[in-house]
Structure 1
Amino acid sequence: MNVCCFQNKNSEYVIKAEVTYSFQDKERFQNKVLPYVFGCGMFYTNKNPEIKLTDDNARYRTSFILKTKSLAQLVSATTSMLRFSPDCKLEKVKIMKCPKITSKQLPDQYTKKFLLGVILKPSLFYEDSINKVIDYALKNKYDFVKDDDVSEYSTKESARISRIVKGPVYLQKITSLNNIQGEGDWNLVTPCIHGWQLLEQASKQKVTAAHCAGLSPQISWESFIMFSRLAGAAMVICPDTEFDKSFDLKNLIKEASIPIGGVPETRIIIGGGLTPARIKEVLKNIDKSYYKNLGFAIGSWILKRNDKK
């Protein structure tokens, strides 16, 4: 692995990271991705550092050090030009140095167990179904009720849901800080759609979850989780391994909890059409010491008696 570094001598950098890419088309990567990673552009490729490439199962891999002023700059530099190198993937972001992340974390009563919540699907907006889902969560002592990633409730509708949810916490999807509702509620942000700055800002005000909606397949789950940790997300909503085989839960739980100075751990919340049987299966294959880094958000099957297995 060849490690290279680029920085502007007149700037102060606060995040230092080692980034790793894999790709097949070396020319595209060098001419399309790298120039922008280092802030130059297509007409300044000669200013890029020389990077030694290693062949790994017909894919090249390369790692180098990058320094940026902010998380938004780090995400932009490492991912914004991937679309011009279709076979390229950001595999890993290893944080070497960063400022202390200040964000709202889960209250103590949630920190030593796995979390359980239910999803309010937009198709279930009519009041009767929402009441049934919330009532089910309350009776079964669920920890939270969360919006779906595609929810587009009005401020009035979100305020009404916030009032209805009593007992479980309402994990409300927001698209701006002006959307935030009840005092005891938590936030849900889709950073790949509504921006990493929103996730950073929201996590400073309330316990906030990062949702994976809109994540490019050219960005690894490891990288998304690390970006989310840098943004202060207390939770990261991800798919079940049965839905996405590339989601290696055991490895990603470690990525979510690996000690990094000044960066809080995060918790992986597996979302989707999970049943109690599937949840038990997942827990059976995970060391109990990691339960505190795990949670589940189940779908609308709870309204169908035959699916409660």
Structure 2
Amino acid sequence: MSNAMRTPAGAINVERYQGAVADGRFRRLWNANAPGYLFLLPWLIGFFGLTLGPALISLYLSFTDFDMLQSPRWVGMANYVRIATADPKFSAAMYVTLTYVVFSVPFKLTFALLVAMALNRGLRGLSVYRAIFYLPSLLGGSVAIAVLWRQLFASDGLVNAALSYFGIEGPSWISHPNYSIYTLVALSVWQFGSPMIIFLAGLRQIPQDMYEAASLDGASKFRQFYKITLPLLTPVIFFNAVVQTIDAFKAFTPAFIISGGTGGPINSTLFYTLYLYQEAFGNFRMGYASALAWILVVIIAIFTAFSFLTSRYWVHYDD
């Protein structure tokens, strides 16, 4: 009888001991990591309060009919069905956005790489050149630059004034459906500073003795670029391509300012984000706009996943 009564008491003591040990371990871990969590607190508040929370709310709203004046009304998949079957502006916005991505990203990366290779030749005052070339990336997304760009490509703008010296009568680039999208592509390419800096950092990591050995073997500059520079730079190219593609899908300010928020003539500059903005704040169809936003998230995720899946065939790392 006494043994039977001592066993539960011993078990209780063991549980208390294990609980005390666990509590002491938790306190030591907390004391060791508390400063880190304290410094992370602003980011955590921003992530859960300004990113994850609104994203989950928009996911819910995408299944509702919500005009910001009345309570959301659940409609299920109706918004997504309408986007897929009965919304011609959705296909127009997708076409314009894909055209912008296909032209702007390769041209921007190519131009950024060429400038980075020119700066990598050991120019004097390299930091000044880097700052000058990086400046458009800081200013290009602003409203002021978009307004300036609209004035440059207007019918009486500086571009047509320069063409008139050669006897060429240029159109109103921003109001012509065949040319308006390419003025935005040119604005995107002009903002080549950010990928250029990253390319320059990647070029600085390539050992120079590889070029010297190639020169001794009689390799031309083009062959050195094709056989040495490009393969060793593929991780940087991959990073820049993914980042710039995502940014191109999210482009909004230039199209909004240059087209006056209308999407240009015959929807020629109706970017996907601009159409989303029109539905949300122009037509007050917040539920429908939320569905458009989540479709954009899925499209970007598919492009990013495809890039990572195909990177194994052309991206070469040191190992």
TM-score range, shorter chain: under 0.3
The two structures have a TM-score, normalised by structure 1, of 0.24
The two structures have a TM-score, normalised by structure 2, of 0.23
Please identify which structure carries the higher helix content. 2
Please identify which structure carries the higher strand content. 1
**Which is bigger in relative contact order (C-alpha 8 A, separation at least 6)?**
2
